[in-house]
Amino acid sequence: MKYRKLQAILLVFIMVLSLAGCQKVDEKISEKVVEEIIGSATGGKIDIKKDGLKLETGDTEMEVGDELEWPVEAMGDLPVPKARFDFIMKNDENKSCTVTFKDLDEDDGRAYFDILVEMGFKGGTYLNTDDILMFSGSRENGTGVNYNYNPISKEGFIIFEITQ
């Protein structure tokens, strides 16, 4: 009798494991179906991961996630802010890159604003208040930047472009 009980418990355990394994397979299948649908709708290539997605279409590449890496090449000589990056869009045609960020402490956000001014960007918007920091400008080397930061939400974005 004990042997039959043990067999039944093992059988149930194996079935639960196999169902859990099937769920992961189902998730992967669903992922691929969504990738195909979005890919055919946009004419691009999409890769969905558990922590985000990446879409390439024409000259544009977009990435969404929680812990993205700073796109060093696309952002020229801009320093890396002490933040977490959650969206990146690079466009080869107009030579630009947009990065949205979060969790940037107010002191670091204000210091980044000052660094951009010191780097020689000029001729654009300059707003530095308690509620928002906005800066845009260009340099003689043909690069431009747009920086927006909200110290209350600790979020913002940076757009870097090559204008020449």
Residues 35-74 pLDDT 10s: 555 555 556 677 777 778 888 888 889 899 988 999 999 9
Query: What mean pLDDT, rounded, does the chain reach?
Result: 81
Is the CB of residue 146 less than 8 Å from the CB of residue 158?
A: yes
61 phi and psi, to 5 degrees? -125, 125
pTM (predicted TM-score): 0.74
Decide: residue 150, CB within 10 A, 0-12 exposed, 13-18 middle, 19+ buried. middle
Mean pLDDT, range 17-40, rounded to an integer: 52
Handedness of CA 32, 37, 38, 39 (dihedral sign): positive
Q: And the tokens for 76? A: 């020229």
Q: What pLDDT is recorded for position 58?
A: 84
Q: What pLDDT is recorded for position 40?
A: 57
Output the CA–CA distances (angstroms, integers) from residue 150 to 3, 64, 66, 84, 109, in the order listed. 66, 20, 19, 14, 8
Contacts of 142 (CB under 8 A, 6+ apart): 162, 163, 164
Q: What is the pLDDT of residues 69-111, one digit of tens each?
A: 999 999 999 999 999 999 999 998 889 999 999 999 999 999 9
Output the CA–CA distances (angstroms, integers) from residue 125 to 58, 78, 109, 140, 150, in the order listed. 31, 18, 17, 17, 15
Task: Say how far apart CA 52 and CA 74 lie, in whole Å.
Answer: 20
| DSSP state, residue 80 | P
Q: What pLDDT is recorded for position 52?
A: 82
Q: What pLDDT is recorded for position 12?
A: 44
Mean pLDDT, range 18-33, rounded to an integer: 52
Q: What pLDDT is recorded for position 51?
A: 75
